[in-house]
Protein backbone atom coordinates (compact mmCIF):
# COMPACT_ATOMS: atom_id res chain seq x y z
CA UNK A 1 0.00 0.00 0.00
CA UNK A 2 1.36 3.41 -1.00
CA UNK A 3 1.27 5.66 2.03
CA UNK A 4 -0.10 9.19 1.67
CA UNK A 5 2.52 11.39 3.36
CA UNK A 6 1.98 14.36 5.66
CA UNK A 7 3.28 16.72 3.02
CA UNK A 8 4.52 15.54 -0.35
CA UNK A 9 6.06 17.65 -3.15
CA UNK A 10 3.77 18.49 -6.06
CA UNK A 11 5.24 19.15 -9.51
CA UNK A 12 2.91 20.69 -12.03
CA UNK A 13 4.81 23.52 -13.73
CA UNK A 14 8.12 24.04 -15.51
CA UNK A 15 10.29 21.95 -13.19
CA UNK A 16 11.54 19.55 -15.90
CA UNK A 17 12.05 22.34 -18.43
CA UNK A 18 14.23 24.38 -16.05
CA UNK A 19 16.21 21.38 -14.82
CA UNK A 20 17.00 20.26 -18.38
CA UNK A 21 18.07 23.81 -19.22
CA UNK A 22 20.47 23.75 -16.26
CA UNK A 23 22.01 20.51 -17.48
CA UNK A 24 22.18 21.64 -21.11
CA UNK A 25 23.97 24.84 -20.09
CA UNK A 26 26.34 23.02 -17.66
CA UNK A 27 25.48 25.36 -14.77
CA UNK A 28 24.56 22.97 -11.96
CA UNK A 29 26.59 24.10 -8.93
CA UNK A 30 26.76 27.37 -6.94
CA UNK A 31 26.63 29.76 -9.92
CA UNK A 32 24.12 30.33 -12.70
CA UNK A 33 21.20 32.42 -13.84
CA UNK A 34 18.56 30.39 -12.01
CA UNK A 35 20.06 31.46 -8.67
CA UNK A 36 19.38 35.08 -9.62
CA UNK A 37 15.91 34.34 -11.01
CA UNK A 38 15.00 32.33 -7.93
CA UNK A 39 16.09 35.12 -5.57
CA UNK A 40 14.25 37.75 -7.62
CA UNK A 41 11.02 35.73 -7.57
CA UNK A 42 11.34 35.08 -3.83
CA UNK A 43 11.95 38.78 -3.20
CA UNK A 44 8.85 39.72 -5.19
CA UNK A 45 6.77 37.38 -3.01
CA UNK A 46 8.15 38.24 0.43
CA UNK A 47 9.53 41.77 -0.09
CA UNK A 48 12.58 40.59 1.89
CA UNK A 49 15.42 43.07 1.41
CA UNK A 50 18.70 41.19 1.44
CA UNK A 51 18.87 37.50 0.51
CA UNK A 52 21.38 34.69 0.90
CA UNK A 53 20.49 31.36 -0.77
CA UNK A 54 21.75 28.38 1.24
CA UNK A 55 21.75 24.58 1.00
CA UNK A 56 19.00 24.08 3.60
CA UNK A 57 17.11 25.76 6.42
CA UNK A 58 19.37 24.34 9.14
CA UNK A 59 22.37 25.96 7.48
CA UNK A 60 20.38 29.20 7.34
CA UNK A 61 19.85 29.02 11.10
CA UNK A 62 23.51 28.18 11.73
CA UNK A 63 24.91 31.03 9.66
CA UNK A 64 22.39 33.43 11.24
CA UNK A 65 23.59 32.42 14.71
CA UNK A 66 27.16 33.15 13.64
CA UNK A 67 26.29 36.55 12.16
CA UNK A 68 24.14 37.41 15.20
CA UNK A 69 27.28 37.03 17.30
CA UNK A 70 26.03 34.03 19.27
CA UNK A 71 28.97 32.08 20.65
CA UNK A 72 30.18 29.76 23.40
CA UNK A 73 28.38 30.10 26.76
CA UNK A 74 25.73 32.46 25.33
CA UNK A 75 22.02 31.65 25.56
CA UNK A 76 19.28 31.81 22.95
CA UNK A 77 15.58 32.00 23.85
CA UNK A 78 13.60 29.50 21.78
CA UNK A 79 10.21 27.73 21.92
CA UNK A 80 10.34 24.11 23.02
CA UNK A 81 7.96 23.05 20.23
CA UNK A 82 9.99 23.19 17.03
CA UNK A 83 11.89 20.83 14.79
CA UNK A 84 15.19 19.90 16.45
CA UNK A 85 17.20 21.71 13.75
CA UNK A 86 16.31 25.02 15.42
CA UNK A 87 17.90 23.84 18.66
CA UNK A 88 20.85 22.13 16.98
CA UNK A 89 21.85 25.37 15.27
CA UNK A 90 22.23 26.96 18.72
CA UNK A 91 24.44 24.09 19.88
CA UNK A 92 26.58 24.30 16.73
CA UNK A 93 27.99 27.64 17.91
CA UNK A 94 28.54 26.41 21.48
CA UNK A 95 25.56 28.28 22.94
CA UNK A 96 22.66 26.93 25.02
CA UNK A 97 18.90 26.99 24.30
CA UNK A 98 16.66 28.67 26.87
CA UNK A 99 13.28 27.02 26.44
CA UNK A 100 9.91 28.79 26.40
CA UNK A 101 6.36 27.48 26.40
CA UNK A 102 3.96 27.80 23.44
CA UNK A 103 0.60 29.48 22.96
CA UNK A 104 -2.64 28.09 21.52
CA UNK A 105 -1.17 28.16 17.98
CA UNK A 106 1.96 26.19 19.05
CA UNK A 107 4.08 29.34 18.63
CA UNK A 108 6.33 30.85 21.30
CA UNK A 109 4.26 32.17 24.22
CA UNK A 110 4.72 35.92 23.86
CA UNK A 111 3.40 36.75 27.33
CA UNK A 112 5.68 34.30 29.18
CA UNK A 113 8.67 35.34 27.06
CA UNK A 114 8.19 39.02 27.92
CA UNK A 115 7.62 38.10 31.56
CA UNK A 116 10.87 36.13 31.65
CA UNK A 117 12.93 38.90 30.08
CA UNK A 118 11.46 41.56 32.37
CA UNK A 119 11.68 39.57 35.62
CA UNK A 120 14.50 37.07 35.19
CA UNK A 121 17.13 39.04 33.29
CA UNK A 122 19.14 42.23 33.75
CA UNK A 123 20.47 44.67 31.16
CA UNK A 124 24.03 45.84 31.73
CA UNK A 125 26.67 47.39 29.44
CA UNK A 126 24.65 46.71 26.30
CA UNK A 127 23.90 43.04 27.05
CA UNK A 128 21.00 41.11 28.56
CA UNK A 129 21.99 38.56 31.21
CA UNK A 130 20.09 35.59 32.63
CA UNK A 131 19.93 36.27 36.40
CA UNK A 132 19.99 32.54 37.19
CA UNK A 133 22.89 31.41 35.00
CA UNK A 134 24.72 34.71 34.57
CA UNK A 135 25.06 34.06 30.83
CA UNK A 136 24.45 36.60 28.07
CA UNK A 137 21.24 36.18 26.08
CA UNK A 138 22.35 37.04 22.56
CA UNK A 139 19.34 36.03 20.46
CA UNK A 140 15.70 35.03 20.49
CA UNK A 141 14.20 32.67 17.91
CA UNK A 142 10.56 33.00 16.91
CA UNK A 143 9.30 29.93 15.03
CA UNK A 144 6.25 30.35 12.79
CA UNK A 145 5.17 26.82 13.58
CA UNK A 146 3.31 24.76 10.96
CA UNK A 147 2.96 27.89 8.80
CA UNK A 148 1.10 29.99 11.39
CA UNK A 149 2.47 33.47 12.08
CA UNK A 150 3.68 33.93 15.65
CA UNK A 151 2.76 36.90 17.81
CA UNK A 152 5.80 39.09 17.43
CA UNK A 153 5.06 42.79 18.12
CA UNK A 154 5.96 42.88 21.84
CA UNK A 155 8.86 40.48 21.34
CA UNK A 156 10.20 42.70 18.56
CA UNK A 157 10.09 45.76 20.86
CA UNK A 158 11.77 44.14 23.86
CA UNK A 159 14.50 42.59 21.68
CA UNK A 160 15.22 46.02 20.25
CA UNK A 161 15.31 47.56 23.73
CA UNK A 162 17.49 44.80 25.22
CA UNK A 163 19.89 44.43 22.25
CA UNK A 164 18.80 40.83 21.64
CA UNK A 165 19.02 39.69 18.01
CA UNK A 166 15.63 38.50 16.70
CA UNK A 167 15.78 35.46 14.41
CA UNK A 168 12.65 34.20 12.66
CA UNK A 169 12.48 30.52 11.80
CA UNK A 170 10.02 30.81 8.91
CA UNK A 171 10.93 27.40 7.47
CA UNK A 172 7.27 26.39 7.11
CA UNK A 173 5.58 29.76 6.60
CA UNK A 174 6.27 30.83 3.02
CA UNK A 175 3.14 32.70 1.90
CA UNK A 176 2.08 33.70 5.43
CA UNK A 177 1.54 37.42 6.09
CA UNK A 178 0.25 39.55 8.96
CA UNK A 179 -3.11 41.18 8.23
CA UNK A 180 -3.31 43.49 11.23
CA UNK A 181 -1.21 45.40 13.76
CA UNK A 182 2.18 47.05 13.41
CA UNK A 183 3.38 44.51 10.85
CA UNK A 184 0.28 44.48 8.67
CA UNK A 185 1.06 43.17 5.15
CA UNK A 186 4.53 42.08 6.28
CA UNK A 187 5.61 38.57 5.36
CA UNK A 188 6.85 36.27 8.12
CA UNK A 189 10.64 36.04 8.12
CA UNK A 190 11.14 39.67 7.05
CA UNK A 191 10.67 41.40 10.42
CA UNK A 192 13.55 40.21 12.60
CA UNK A 193 17.28 40.73 12.13
CA UNK A 194 17.33 37.43 10.24
CA UNK A 195 14.61 35.23 8.73
CA UNK A 196 15.16 31.66 7.57
CA UNK A 197 13.08 29.80 4.98
CA UNK A 198 13.31 26.14 3.99
CA UNK A 199 12.64 24.48 0.63
CA UNK A 200 12.95 20.89 1.80
CA UNK A 201 10.83 18.28 0.00
CA UNK A 202 8.05 18.54 2.59
CA UNK A 203 7.59 22.34 2.40
CA UNK A 204 4.87 24.19 0.49
CA UNK A 205 7.50 24.97 -2.18
CA UNK A 206 10.54 22.74 -2.67
CA UNK A 207 13.89 22.96 -4.39
CA UNK A 208 14.79 19.43 -3.30
CA UNK A 209 16.90 20.88 -0.54
CA UNK A 210 17.63 24.55 -0.03
CA UNK A 211 16.82 27.62 1.99
CA UNK A 212 17.12 31.39 2.07
CA UNK A 213 18.32 33.75 4.78
CA UNK A 214 16.66 37.17 4.76
CA UNK A 215 18.80 39.82 6.46
CA UNK A 216 17.50 43.15 7.70
CA UNK A 217 20.59 45.10 6.71
CA UNK A 218 22.99 44.94 3.80
CA UNK A 219 26.11 44.58 5.94
CA UNK A 220 24.87 41.32 7.49
CA UNK A 221 23.82 39.97 4.12
CA UNK A 222 27.18 40.73 2.51
CA UNK A 223 28.99 38.98 5.35
CA UNK A 224 26.70 35.94 5.16
CA UNK A 225 27.16 35.68 1.38
CA UNK A 226 30.92 35.90 1.94
CA UNK A 227 30.91 33.17 4.61
CA UNK A 228 28.67 30.72 2.70
CA UNK A 229 31.02 30.94 -0.31
CA UNK A 230 34.11 29.71 1.59
CA UNK A 231 35.11 33.25 2.65
CA UNK A 232 37.03 33.78 -0.58
CA UNK A 233 38.89 37.12 -0.56
CA UNK A 234 40.81 36.64 -3.78
CA UNK A 235 39.14 34.49 -6.44
CA UNK A 236 42.26 34.33 -8.61
CA UNK A 237 44.84 33.41 -5.98
CA UNK A 238 42.38 31.69 -3.62
CA UNK A 239 43.07 33.79 -0.54
CA UNK A 240 40.82 33.12 2.48
CA UNK A 241 41.20 35.46 5.46
CA UNK A 242 38.43 33.85 7.52
CA UNK A 243 36.98 30.39 8.05
CA UNK A 244 34.22 29.98 5.50
CA UNK A 245 31.58 27.39 4.65
CA UNK A 246 30.43 25.56 1.55
CA UNK A 247 26.82 26.54 2.22
CA UNK A 248 25.57 28.21 -0.96
CA UNK A 249 22.54 26.88 -2.85
CA UNK A 250 23.13 25.23 -6.22
CA UNK A 251 21.82 26.53 -9.52
CA UNK A 252 20.07 23.23 -10.21
CA UNK A 253 18.16 23.44 -6.92
CA UNK A 254 17.29 27.06 -7.66
CA UNK A 255 15.88 26.00 -11.04
CA UNK A 256 13.53 23.55 -9.35
CA UNK A 257 12.65 26.15 -6.71
CA UNK A 258 11.85 28.81 -9.30
CA UNK A 259 9.33 26.57 -11.06
CA UNK A 260 7.72 25.86 -7.68
CA UNK A 261 7.59 29.53 -6.66
CA UNK A 262 5.74 30.29 -9.88
CA UNK A 263 2.92 28.06 -8.58
CA UNK A 264 2.87 29.32 -4.98
CA UNK A 265 -0.46 31.19 -5.27
CA UNK A 266 -2.09 28.07 -6.71
CA UNK A 267 -0.64 25.94 -3.89
CA UNK A 268 -1.87 28.34 -1.19
CA UNK A 269 -5.35 28.43 -2.72
CA UNK A 270 -5.54 24.64 -2.72
CA UNK A 271 -4.17 24.46 0.84
CA UNK A 272 -6.97 26.71 2.06
CA UNK A 273 -9.50 24.54 0.29
CA UNK A 274 -8.06 21.42 1.97
CA UNK A 275 -8.19 23.09 5.38
CA UNK A 276 -11.79 24.25 4.89
CA UNK A 277 -12.85 20.75 3.88
CA UNK A 278 -11.09 19.18 6.88
CA UNK A 279 -12.72 21.70 9.21
CA UNK A 280 -16.20 21.09 7.81
CA UNK A 281 -15.86 17.32 8.19
CA UNK A 282 -14.10 17.31 11.58
CA UNK A 283 -16.83 19.48 13.13
CA UNK A 284 -19.12 16.46 12.85
CA UNK A 285 -16.91 14.34 15.16
CA UNK A 286 -17.48 14.74 18.88
CA UNK A 287 -14.27 15.05 20.89
CA UNK A 288 -12.12 16.09 17.90
CA UNK A 289 -11.39 19.64 16.78
CA UNK A 290 -9.11 21.13 14.19
CA UNK A 291 -6.40 23.39 15.58
CA UNK A 292 -7.31 26.97 14.67
CA UNK A 293 -5.01 29.38 12.84
CA UNK A 294 -4.46 32.93 14.16
CA UNK A 295 -6.91 35.55 12.92
CA UNK A 296 -4.24 38.29 12.93
CA UNK A 297 -2.53 36.72 9.91
CA UNK A 298 -3.21 35.19 6.53
CA UNK A 299 -1.66 31.73 6.93
CA UNK A 300 -0.43 29.29 4.30
CA UNK A 301 -2.18 26.31 5.99
CA UNK A 302 0.93 24.20 5.55
CA UNK A 303 -0.14 21.43 7.91
CA UNK A 304 -3.50 20.48 9.43
CA UNK A 305 -3.64 19.33 13.04
CA UNK A 306 -6.43 17.96 15.19
CA UNK A 307 -6.74 17.90 18.96
CA UNK A 308 -8.24 14.81 20.60
CA UNK A 309 -10.17 15.37 23.85
CA UNK A 310 -9.70 11.76 25.00
CA UNK A 311 -5.92 11.50 25.11
CA UNK A 312 -5.96 7.72 25.53
CA UNK A 313 -7.41 7.43 21.99
CA UNK A 314 -4.60 9.39 20.36
CA UNK A 315 -2.21 6.46 19.80
CA UNK A 316 -5.06 4.31 18.55
CA UNK A 317 -6.06 6.91 15.95
CA UNK A 318 -2.48 7.35 14.76
CA UNK A 319 -2.05 3.58 14.43
CA UNK A 320 -5.34 3.28 12.56
CA UNK A 321 -4.45 6.01 10.06
CA UNK A 322 -0.92 4.72 9.42
CA UNK A 323 -2.06 1.11 8.96
CA UNK A 324 -4.56 2.30 6.35
CA UNK A 325 -2.01 4.22 4.29
CA UNK A 326 -2.31 7.73 5.76
CA UNK A 327 0.78 9.04 7.54
CA UNK A 328 0.06 10.70 10.86
CA UNK A 329 2.06 11.45 13.99
CA UNK A 330 2.05 13.59 17.13
CA UNK A 331 3.67 17.03 17.03
CA UNK A 332 7.41 17.16 17.70
CA UNK A 333 8.42 15.96 21.15
CA UNK A 334 9.14 19.07 23.27
CA UNK A 335 12.84 19.82 23.03
CA UNK A 336 13.29 20.59 26.73
CA UNK A 337 12.36 16.92 27.31
CA UNK A 338 14.89 15.59 24.78
CA UNK A 339 17.86 13.74 26.31
CA UNK A 340 20.42 16.13 24.79
CA UNK A 341 18.74 19.25 26.18
CA UNK A 342 17.24 18.21 29.54
CA UNK A 343 19.82 20.18 31.53
CA UNK A 344 19.14 23.44 29.72
CA UNK A 345 17.14 26.23 31.34
CA UNK A 346 13.35 26.21 30.84
CA UNK A 347 10.67 28.67 31.93
CA UNK A 348 7.12 27.79 33.02
CA UNK A 349 6.47 25.17 30.35
CA UNK A 350 3.00 23.67 30.64
CA UNK A 351 0.99 23.87 27.41
CA UNK A 352 3.68 22.20 25.29
CA UNK A 353 3.68 19.10 27.51
CA UNK A 354 -0.12 18.87 27.26
CA UNK A 355 -0.29 19.46 23.50
CA UNK A 356 2.15 16.65 22.66
CA UNK A 357 -0.31 14.21 24.29
CA UNK A 358 -3.36 15.37 22.37
CA UNK A 359 -2.49 16.77 18.92
CA UNK A 360 -2.20 14.74 15.71
CA UNK A 361 -0.68 15.90 12.39
CA UNK A 362 -2.74 14.90 9.35
CA UNK A 363 -1.88 14.56 5.64
CA UNK A 364 -1.97 18.03 4.05
CA UNK A 365 -0.27 17.78 0.64
CA UNK A 366 -1.38 20.07 -2.19
CA UNK A 367 -2.22 16.90 -4.14
CA UNK A 368 -4.55 15.56 -1.41
CA UNK A 369 -8.05 14.84 -2.75
CA UNK A 370 -11.34 15.37 -0.94
CA UNK A 371 -12.19 11.67 -1.21
CA UNK A 372 -8.93 10.89 0.61
CA UNK A 373 -9.87 13.35 3.33
CA UNK A 374 -13.22 11.58 3.61
CA UNK A 375 -11.38 8.29 4.27
CA UNK A 376 -9.20 9.96 6.90
CA UNK A 377 -12.29 11.37 8.64
CA UNK A 378 -14.03 7.99 8.60
CA UNK A 379 -10.98 6.31 10.11
CA UNK A 380 -10.89 8.91 12.90
CA UNK A 381 -14.59 8.34 13.53
pTM assigned to the model: 0.96
Q: How many CA atoms lie within 13 A of 242 on its CB side?
A: 15
Phi-psi label, residue 47: left if phi above 0, alpha if psi -120 to 50, beta otherwise: left
Distance CA 51, CA 64 (A): 12
Averaged pLDDT, 83-103: 98
Q: Which residues pair with residue 108 across a beta bridge? A: 102
185 within 8 A of 177, measured Cβ to Cβ: yes
pLDDT tier, 373 (very low <50, low <70, confident <90, very high otherwise) = very high
**Partners of 343 in the beta sheet?**
none
pLDDT tens track for 99-128: 999 999 999 999 999 999 999 999 999 999
Helix (H) or strand (E) holding 98: strand 96-100
Q: Residues 54, 211: contact at Cβ < 8 Å? A: yes
pLDDT tens-digit map of 257-297: 999 999 999 999 999 999 999 999 999 999 999 999 999 99
Could you give the 3-state DSSP secondary structure of residue 257? helix
Contact 144, 188 (CB under 8 A): yes
Mean pLDDT over 32-55 rounds to 97
Q: What pLDDT, on a 0 to 100 scale, did the predictor assign at position 94?
A: 97
The Cα–Cα gap between 192 and 170 comes to 11
Distance CA 104, CA 121 (A): 25
Percent of the chain with pLDDT over 70: 100
pLDDT band at 2 (very low <50, low <70, confident <90, very high): confident
Nearest Cα to Cα of residue 12 among 370, 274, 326, 261: 261
What pLDDT does 311 receive? 86
Every domain range in the chain assigned CATH 3.90.1150.10: 264-380
Confidence of residue 1 (pLDDT cuts 50, 70, 90): low
pLDDT per residue as tens digits for the range 202-247: 999 999 999 999 999 999 999 999 999 999 999 899 999 999 999 9
Round to the nearest angstrom and report the end-to-end CA distance of the chain. 22
Q: Any idea which fold 264-380 has?
A: 3.90.1150
Residues of the chain with CATH 3.40.640.10: 15-261
**Order of strands across the sheet with 75-79?**
50-54, 211-215, 194-198, 165-169, 137-143, 75-79, 96-100, 346-347
User: Going by CATH, does the domain composed of 15-261 fall within 3.40.640.10?
Assistant: yes
Amino acid sequence: MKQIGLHEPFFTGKEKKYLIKCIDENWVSSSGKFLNLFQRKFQNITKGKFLSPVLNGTIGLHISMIQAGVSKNDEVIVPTITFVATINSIKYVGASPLFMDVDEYLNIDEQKTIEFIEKKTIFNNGYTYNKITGNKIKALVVVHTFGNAARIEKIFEICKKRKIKLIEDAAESLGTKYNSGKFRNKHTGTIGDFGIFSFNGNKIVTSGNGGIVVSKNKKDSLKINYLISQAKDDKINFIHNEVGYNYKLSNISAALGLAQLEKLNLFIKRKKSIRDYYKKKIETIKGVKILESPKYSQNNNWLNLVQISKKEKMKKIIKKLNSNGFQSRPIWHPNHMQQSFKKNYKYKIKKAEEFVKSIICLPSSVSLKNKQIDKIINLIK
